[in-house]
Chains A and B, each alone.
Chain A
Amino acid sequence: MADVTFESTEFADSYETTEGRVYTVSGQDWDTVLAAPEGEHERIVVNMGPQHPSTHGVLRLILELDGETVTEARCGIGFLHTGIEKNMEFRTWTQGVTFVTRMDYLAPMFNETAYCLAIEKLLGITDQIPERASVIRVMMMELNRMSSHLVALATGGMELGALTAMIFGFRERELILDIFEMVSGLRMNSAFIRPGGVVQDLPAGAEEKIRETVALLRKRYKDTANLLVDNAIWLARTKDIGYLDLTGCMALGVTGPILRATGLPHDLRKSQPYCGYENYDFDVVTADTADVYGRFLIRIQELEQSLRIVEQCLDRLEPGPVMIGDKKVGWPAQLSVGGDGMGNSLDHIKEIMGTSMEALIHHFKLVTEGFRVPAGQVYQAVESPRGELGVHLVSDGGTRPYRVHFRDPSFTNLQAVAAMCEGSMIADVVAAVASIDPVMGGVDR
């Protein structure tokens, strides 16, 4: 490629290829190309992203245009690849939780639960997880599903010009993050769910706080719904846009709200329940439009279903342990939230430092060395807000995972961009990508 000289009045760079002369334009220099002799075959390829505000993080869309019509659409990913899977091979099984929670950063509870369920399956301790721990897991996951859907509605609305939806969505999400902060000490990336249970019990007053928030959310989420459901502009931007039918979903492996928008009631919480989901009363929401509007409606209605599940969780919470009784797996940590976040409880430190040397040794060995997991492999899937989140876990019998692979739904669902967008307008690409709701942290891992 020839050097671009900025003294020149022509900013556009150009070079010969086998398909003809190629011009690179970067803005404010279109005139130089218009002046150029036109070939018999003109193609315009536009890079949308990776820093475009409507591409949900660092997603690069490569669009080939004919006027404003997209003739070909491709995705470029990998900008947020952090090697989480590789890093986990050098950390203990428990430490892995702090990595997985950072993948799909809008659904950390799902990453943690899927990973912990897989470890528990490999250890053969699935039946020993205390009831209270499972109920708390379900409750945190459903709260998380709501916060994730609220962000999907907020950013999706913003990208189509509905800024009030964005304000409302983030306002409601903040209520849920307050609960996460109260329960785990952190708003995001909480590493709250651990192999064997959850890291600590709900603090005093958490149940009342969650009850209040659920009541408030039930009233407030309808603000967003009322704003958009019958809104003529919203309908015009979303109806029959980003169409993907059942056949397309199956071929491309698409799951979650996109699949349910084709009318198929596929939800792992119903078909292959985990964490005791079979004991909760909720409906699988579907739509039959297979378009952006259908996916939007599903997310709105799933908020209602999640609220129902959280209420049932609160009713089912019985006092009891939140960590497995097996002292070789469950950390003895007994953490508590102090003024500066989560840390060891002072009572526990008093015991191991003051009265029991054996307890200190055990604590030290379990935290630094970790527990061993029998050699073998398992696959465990949960229904994340975006579809099937699968964990493929391989152990060599050691204290660290030999290989962890996450089948993140965002990664697979993004493959549908070409099928949804080709032949549509550029503006509809924004709507279609928003309805896929990709989270690049999960895509790139």
Chain B
Amino acid sequence: MSELAVPTEGRPTLDVVEVRRGAFGVHGSGDTSGFGGLVRPVALPAAAERPFGAVFDVIADEVEAGLTARGGAFSDSVERVLVAHEELTFVVRREHLLTFMSVLRDEPGLRFELCLGVTGIHWPGDLGAEFHAVYPLLSITHNRRVRVQTSCPAADIHLPSIVSVYPTNDWHEREAYDFFGIIFDGHPSLTRIEMPDDWLGHPQRKDYPLGGIPVEYKGATVPPADERRSYS
């Protein structure tokens, strides 16, 4: 959370993950355009309050009952609930992830049989939660989807592996490890999967350069994609 995420009375707190300054990706050079003073917070949708709408309340109730039956509490496991674009997301604390996943899989009212893998997102500006991991799930029985999100700080880049609950996540966790360096504790063999075994670095991190060479065409030179003007 950055300094811009000051809670305002009566309004939901935005989830500010980063603050951008300037324009066109120009930094460190003399700015005469005036655009250099631009400040743009990157805010993800704020936490949702009950009622979540549609069947989302039913899912949340079932999750709460399942967690209670396993000796946990909803408020301990779930940091917040997000509802956006008719999709439900549980933001779960990483230490409760494994229990949470078994609730989703095993409760008769939930029955999320299919886990559709895991993917990382690197938010270098989201201090204390630089690496997010997102697990989309599908229940064929009830024809519902849900998303579970968790995070870990860059200083302690560990998440529990859920391969014991969803074996399909074997390769997906290897991929997230390969691309982001997230270490999934308890994975049977956490090795690189897409990059060569001796590769250095994790390419999907935001501080990992895209690379590329300038291309000459009819005398003019086009710089590589990551050195062109950007509008974000």
A residues adjacent to B (C-beta < 8 A) = 77-78, 81, 83, 85-87, 89-91, 121-122, 124, 250-255, 264, 266, 271-272, 369-370, 375-379, 381, 388, 390, 392, 394, 396-400, 402-403, 405, 407, 411-412, 414-415, 444-445
Q: How far is the CB of A121 from chain B (nearest CB, A)?
A: 5
Segment of B37-45, B54-62, B95-103 in the binding face: B37-45
**B-chain residues with CB within 8 Å of residue A250 when the two chains form the complex:** 113-114
Q: How far is the CB of B169 from chain A (nearest CB, A)?
A: 8
A397 near B168: Cβ-Cβ < 8 Å: no
B interface secondary structure, majority: mixed
What string of 1s and 0s marks CB contacts (under 8 Å) between B163-194 and chain A? 00011111110010001000000000000111
**B-chain residues with CB within 8 Å of residue A400 when the two chains form the complex:** 230, 232
A412 near B210: Cβ-Cβ < 8 Å: no
Alpha-carbon gap, A252 to B115, bound state (A): 9
**A-chain residues with CB within 8 Å of residue B175 when the two chains form the complex:** 411
Given known pairs A91-B225, A250-B114, the reply for A411 and B203 (CB within 8 Å) is no
Q: How far is the CB of B194 from chain A (nearest CB, A)?
A: 4
Alpha-carbon gap, A375 to B85, bound state (A): 12
Alpha-carbon gap, A244 to B113, bound state (A): 16
Identity of the chain A residue whose Cβ is nearest the Cβ of B14 in the assembled complex: A375
B136 near A86: Cβ-Cβ < 8 Å: no
Alpha-carbon gap, A81 to B193, bound state (A): 10
What string of 1s and 0s marks CB contacts (under 8 Å) between B110-142 and chain A? 000111110101100000000000101010100
A-B contact pairs, 11 of them (CB 8 A): A78-B196, A86-B204, A253-B166, A253-B168, A253-B169, A271-B143, A272-B143, A379-B145, A392-B136, A396-B17, A403-B204
B85 near A378: Cβ-Cβ < 8 Å: yes
Given known pairs A86-B203, A396-B232, A444-B194, the reply for A255 and B114 (CB within 8 Å) is yes
| B48 sits at the interface (CB 8 A) | no
**A-chain residues with CB within 8 Å of residue B87 when the two chains form the complex:** 378-379
A388 near B42: Cβ-Cβ < 8 Å: no
Given known pairs A86-B210, A378-B87, the reply for A392 and B194 (CB within 8 Å) is no
**B-chain residues with CB within 8 Å of residue A124 when the two chains form the complex:** 85
A376 near B194: Cβ-Cβ < 8 Å: no
**B-chain residues with CB within 8 Å of residue A399 when the two chains form the complex:** 230-232
**B-chain residues with CB within 8 Å of residue A90 when the two chains form the complex:** 210, 225-226, 228
B167 near A252: Cβ-Cβ < 8 Å: yes
Choose among B44, B116, B231 the residue that contacts A375 (Cβ–Cβ < 8 A).
Answer: B44
Interface size counted on chain B using CB atoms at 8 A: 49
**B-chain residues with CB within 8 Å of residue A254 when the two chains form the complex:** 168
Alpha-carbon gap, A264 to B18, bound state (A): 44
Q: How far is the CB of A276 from chain B (nearest CB, A)?
A: 17
Alpha-carbon gap, A405 to B114, bound state (A): 18
| B4 sits at the interface (CB 8 A) | no
Q: Which of A77, A252, A264, A379 has the most CB of B within 10 A?
A: A379
B116 near A264: Cβ-Cβ < 8 Å: no
B171 near A415: Cβ-Cβ < 8 Å: yes
B136 near A390: Cβ-Cβ < 8 Å: yes
Identity of the chain B residue whose Cβ is nearest the Cβ of A419 in the assembled complex: B167
| B158 sits at the interface (CB 8 A) | no
Identity of the chain B residue whose Cβ is nearest the Cβ of A379 in the assembled complex: B136
**B-chain residues with CB within 8 Å of residue A272 when the two chains form the complex:** 143, 145
Q: How far is the CB of B188 from chain A (nearest CB, A)?
A: 12
**A-chain residues with CB within 8 Å of residue B116 when the two chains form the complex:** 253, 379, 381, 388, 390, 407, 412
Choose among B18, B85, B117 the residue that contacts A253 (Cβ–Cβ < 8 A).
Answer: B117
A81 near B85: Cβ-Cβ < 8 Å: no
**A-chain residues with CB within 8 Å of residue B119 when the two chains form the complex:** 392, 403, 405, 407
**B-chain residues with CB within 8 Å of residue A253 when the two chains form the complex:** 114-117, 166, 168-169
Identity of the chain A residue whose Cβ is nearest the Cβ of B24 in the assembled complex: A369
Choose among A78, A255, A376, A394 the residue that contacts B193 (Cβ–Cβ < 8 A).
Answer: A78
**B-chain residues with CB within 8 Å of residue A398 when the two chains form the complex:** 231-232
Alpha-carbon gap, A378 to B149, bound state (A): 12
| B21 sits at the interface (CB 8 A) | no
**A-chain residues with CB within 8 Å of residue B230 when the two chains form the complex:** 399-400
**A-chain residues with CB within 8 Å of residue B89 when the two chains form the complex:** 377
Alpha-carbon gap, A253 to B118, bound state (A): 12
Q: How far is the CB of B232 from chain A (nearest CB, A)?
A: 3
**A-chain residues with CB within 8 Å of residue B138 when the two chains form the complex:** 381, 388
Choose among A83, A370, A378, A396 the residue that contacts B18 (Cβ–Cβ < 8 A).
Answer: A396
Choose among B114, B121, B167 the residue that contacts A403 (Cβ–Cβ < 8 A).
Answer: B121
**A-chain residues with CB within 8 Å of residue B42 when the two chains form the complex:** 375, 396-397
B194 near A402: Cβ-Cβ < 8 Å: no
**B-chain residues with CB within 8 Å of residue A78 when the two chains form the complex:** 192-196
B147 near A379: Cβ-Cβ < 8 Å: yes
Alpha-carbon gap, A255 to B134, bound state (A): 20
Alpha-carbon gap, A63 to B115, bound state (A): 28
**A-chain residues with CB within 8 Å of residue B147 when the two chains form the complex:** 379
| B84 sits at the interface (CB 8 A) | yes
What string of 1s and 0s marks CB contacts (under 8 Å) between B16-34 and chain A? 0110000000000000000
Q: How far is the CB of A186 from chain B (nearest CB, A)?
A: 21
Alpha-carbon gap, A411 to B118, bound state (A): 13
B134 near A377: Cβ-Cβ < 8 Å: yes
* Interface hits, B194-222 → A, CB 8 Å: 194-196, 203-204, 210
Choose among B45, B85, B117, B136 the residue that contacts A412 (Cβ–Cβ < 8 A).
Answer: B117
Identity of the chain A residue whose Cβ is nearest the Cβ of B230 in the assembled complex: A400
Q: Which of A90, A253, A412 has the most CB of B within 10 A?
A: A253
Q: Which of B113, B119, B134, B210 has the most CB of A within 10 A?
A: B119
